[in-house]
């Protein structure tokens, strides 16, 4: 099969390594998938993948280690259960994330989020963008993920189709982290789609190739960016998605939310398959991939026997709300400067329960894929130092204490120095 790496990106596929293996990312609306879809993903992972599924910090799922010839079969397998990957990589509107879990307001945001995802995915008017365009719907400000999106829509007043949202623009991390700014507050739902289209059209027309919306914001300034968006908006009418009936997949707070740790977002397909079987027996029909690379089940009720069975499969209930985000680092990513999972394991071994209830993120390079600036403690492998015949990573350490992005508090640390400083923070 003759495959063009550039053309594959729009299908959510990257070439992963020199062995010619591929990564396939799958868009999950707000991280939600049904147990039927979860079973299908596990089955595709067994048939074609490397034995694990990778959970991303945008609530998507990735297959790694794929053969090029298997890509069409995976596409068919995804389509059979209503899943797709169009625009999951490349210059397109990426998977739309939501970090609000199954909490209040989640039901309303996920209805609108699904409409947006369908509208922008595979729509030629919104592909061919200078770079990725990230949208998030949030049911509140708790997790602060509105700060790092090209476009974030935060529910501030829930009233069915008359709900209102704050709109944030031009945030992003990467090598030049920048918090988004509040573009407008309390915008009615009917005005969100024309606004989103206008922002993306402005980005598509004036954005610099290879740069995010935040760069256009920095180049034009807030006043000029607002002016150009307003110009576009003049030609658009308010647009409401009319539903024939209430389309919430799950009522707010039905049953028990059961968060489960998945170390480094690496999920064995066998364990995942067994987990779904167990969860179905417990009355679960939907589950979440969270932006902390974990899973969350919505079960009718839990029990000691159920939790023991989960632990036997390697899933620990995360009642303390800990978050440990870890990018693949040089285990799998060509940009990685360190073995992120080994470092994370060392931190867990060293500090154990002292990490409970805390958020920690490790990125294998300055691209910040693990969102270290949004964690209480963020770690970035920032450069390599020669030591005899080998090269070892040095680290920058970030702390987040206010409402904005975390700030670097130390740089160029060796692994030992890093561990000592993390230990001082979490005494
Ligand atoms: S942060 Fe760097 S090493 Fe980690 S996944 Fe992103 S690009 Fe790769």
Indicate whether residue 365 lines ligand 1 (CB < 6 A): yes
Q: Report pLDDT for 162.
A: 87
Question: From atom 3 of ligand 1, which residue's Cα is the shortest distance away?
Answer: 336
Pocket test for ligand 1, best of 363, 371, 381 (most atoms within 8 A of CB): 363
**CB of 406 closer than 8 Å to CB of 389:** no
Domain range annotation of the chain: 5-90+254-317, 106-233, 323-425
CATH tag for 323-425 (out of 3.30.470.10, 3.30.365.10, 1.10.10.10, 3.30.413.10)? 3.30.413.10
**CB of 338 closer than 8 Å to CB of 380:** no
Q: Three-class SS of residue 208?
A: coil
Domain at 5-90+254-317: CATH architecture: Alpha-Beta Complex (3.90)
**CB of 398 closer than 8 Å to CB of 379:** yes
User: Which atom of ligand 1 is nearest the CA belonging to 334?
Assistant: 8
| Distances in whole angstroms, Cα of residue 220 to Cα of each of 197, 233, 330, 407 | 19, 18, 36, 26
**CB of 105 closer than 8 Å to CB of 252:** yes
Pocket test for ligand 1, best of 327, 372, 374 (most atoms within 8 A of CB): 327
Centre of ligand 1 from the C-alpha of residue 22, in Å: 16
Indicate whether residue 372 lines ligand 1 (CB < 6 A): no
Centre of ligand 1 from the C-alpha of residue 364, in Å: 5
Residue 196: closest CA among 209, 207, 184, 210: 184
**CB of 203 closer than 8 Å to CB of 213:** yes
pLDDT digit of tens for each residue in the chain (427 aa)? 667 888 899 999 999 888 889 999 999 999 999 999 999 999 999 999 889 999 999 999 999 999 999 999 999 999 999 999 999 999 999 999 998 888 788 888 999 999 999 999 999 999 999 999 999 999 999 999 999 999 999 999 998 888 999 999 999 999 999 999 999 999 999 999 999 999 999 999 999 999 999 999 999 999 999 999 999 999 999 888 888 888 888 755 567 889 999 999 999 999 999 999 999 998 888 999 999 999 999 888 888 999 999 999 999 888 888 999 999 999 988 899 999 999 999 999 999 999 999 999 999 999 999 999 999 999 999 999 998 889 999 999 999 998 999 999 999 999 999 999 999 998 8
Indicate whether residue 329 lines ligand 1 (CB < 6 A): yes
HSE of 289 in the Cβ direction (CA atoms, 13 Å)? 33
Question: Per DSSP, what are the bridge partners of residue 24?
Answer: 13, 63
Q: Which helix (H) or strand (E) holds 278?
A: helix 269-281
Same fold yes or no, 106-233 and 323-425: yes
Sign of CA dihedral 400, 405, 406, 409: negative
- Rounded distance, CA 68 to CA 351, Å? 42
User: Which atom of ligand 1 is nearest the CA belonging to 364?
Assistant: 3
Top CATH class, 106-233: alpha beta
Indicate whether residue 335 lines ligand 1 (CB < 6 A): yes
Indicate whether residue 333 lines ligand 1 (CB < 6 A): yes
Centre of ligand 1 from the C-alpha of residue 183, in Å: 30
User: Which atom of ligand 1 is nearest the CA belonging to 329?
Assistant: 3
Question: Whole-prediction pTM value?
Answer: 0.94
């Amino acid at each position: 099969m003759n495959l063009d790496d550039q053309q594959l990106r729009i299908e959510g596929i990257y070439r992963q390594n020199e062995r010619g293996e591929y990564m396939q990312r799958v868009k999950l609306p707000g991280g939600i998938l049904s147990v039927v879809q979860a079973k299908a993903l596990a089955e595709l992972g067994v048939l074609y993948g490397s034995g694990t599924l990778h959970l991303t910090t945008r609530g998507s799922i990735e297959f790694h280690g794929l053969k090029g010839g298997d890509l069409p079969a995976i596409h068919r397998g995804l389509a059979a259960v209503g899943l797709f990957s169009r625009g999951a990589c490349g210059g397109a509107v990426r998977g739309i994330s939501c970090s609000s879990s199954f909490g209040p307001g989640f039901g309303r945001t996920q209805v609108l989020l699904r409409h947006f995802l369908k509208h922008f995915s595979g729509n030629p008017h919104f592909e061919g963008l200078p770079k990725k365009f990230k949208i998030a719907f949030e049911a509140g400000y708790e997790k602060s993920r509105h700060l790092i999106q090209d476009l974030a829509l935060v529910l501030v007043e829930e009233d069915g189709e008359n709900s209102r949202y704050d709109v944030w623009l031009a945030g992003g991390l990467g090598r030049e982290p920048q918090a988004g700014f509040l573009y407008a507050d309390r915008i009615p739902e009917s005005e969100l789609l024309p606004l989103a289209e206008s922002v993306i059209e402005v980005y598509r027309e004036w954005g610099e190739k290879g740069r995010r919306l935040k760069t256009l914001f920095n180049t034009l300034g807030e006043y000029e960016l607002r002016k150009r968006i307003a110009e576009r908006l003049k030609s658009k009418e308010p647009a409401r998605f009319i539903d024939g009936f209430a389309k919430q997949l799950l009522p707010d707070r039905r049953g028990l939310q059961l968060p489960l740790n998945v170390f480094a977002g690496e999920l064995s397909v066998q364990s995942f398959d067994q987990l779904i079987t167990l969860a179905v027996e417990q009355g679960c029909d939907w589950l979440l991939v969270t932006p902390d690379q974990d899973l969350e089940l919505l079960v009718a009720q839990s029990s000691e026997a159920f939790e023991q069975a989960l632990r036997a499969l390697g899933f620990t209930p995360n009642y303390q709300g800990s978050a440990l985000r870890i990018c693949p680092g040089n285990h799998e990513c060509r940009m990685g400067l360190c073995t992120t999972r080994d470092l994370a394991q060392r931190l867990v071994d060293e500090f154990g329960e002292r990490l409970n209830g805390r958020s920690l993120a490790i990125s294998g390079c300055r691209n910040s894929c693990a969102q270290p600036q949004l964690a209480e403690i963020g770690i970035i492998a920032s450069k390599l130092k020669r030591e005899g015949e080998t090269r070892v990573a040095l680290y920058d350490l970030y702390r987040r204490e206010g409402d904005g992005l975390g700030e670097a508090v130390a740089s160029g640390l060796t692994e030992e120095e890093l561990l000592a400083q993390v230990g001082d923070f979490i005494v």
